């Protein structure tokens, strides 16, 4: 019963992709905009960017139908990643990084290619 409540919103059952997307929608900006001095040392920052934004793009692409909407979803995830990078300039110890943006873009492109190969949800 509790799980059914968790996955139900406004009378509609949410797919697991939507639940993960909402978690990422909150968690990724929080992690990216947290002051650097409060974060642990990260083993591979670029890999984390690739996985985070590629994962978000994959989830977003599976939540919409139609090629145009999938492309718009991928573009929206990349635009959000760019905005987060710009906002990092306002956070102590953080700054905009083109390499981070490149890793974000690579993740989004990889997700787009994966979506083309996966069966529709």
- Spacing of C-alpha 107 from chain mean position: 9
Split at pLDDT 50, 70, 90, the class of 18 is confident
Q: Which whole number is the average pLDDT over 31-50?
A: 86
Split at pLDDT 50, 70, 90, the class of 12 is low
- Which of 75, 73, 50 shows the shortest CA–CA distance to 121? 73
Residue 2 has pLDDT above 50, yes or no: no
Which residue has better confidence, 12 or 79?
79
Element (H, E) at 9: strand 8-9
pTM: 0.85
- For the chain, the straight-line distance linking the first and the last C-alpha, in angstroms and rounded, comes to 25
């Amino acid at each position: 019963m509790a799980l059914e409540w968790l996955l139900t919103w406004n009378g509609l059952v949410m797919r697991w992709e939507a639940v993960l997307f909402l978690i990422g929608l909150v968690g990724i900006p929080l992690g990216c905009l947290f002051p650097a001095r409060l974060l642990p040392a990260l083993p591979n920052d670029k890999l984390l960017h690739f996985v985070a934004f590629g994962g978000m793009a994959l989830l977003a692409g599976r939540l919409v139908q139609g090629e145009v909407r999938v492309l718009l979803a991928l573009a929206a995830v990349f635009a959000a990643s760019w905005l987060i990078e710009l906002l990092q300039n306002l956070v102590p110890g953080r700054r905009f990084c083109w390499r981070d943006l490149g890793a974000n873009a690579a993740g989004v492109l990889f997700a787009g290619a994966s979506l083309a190969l996966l069966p529709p949800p």
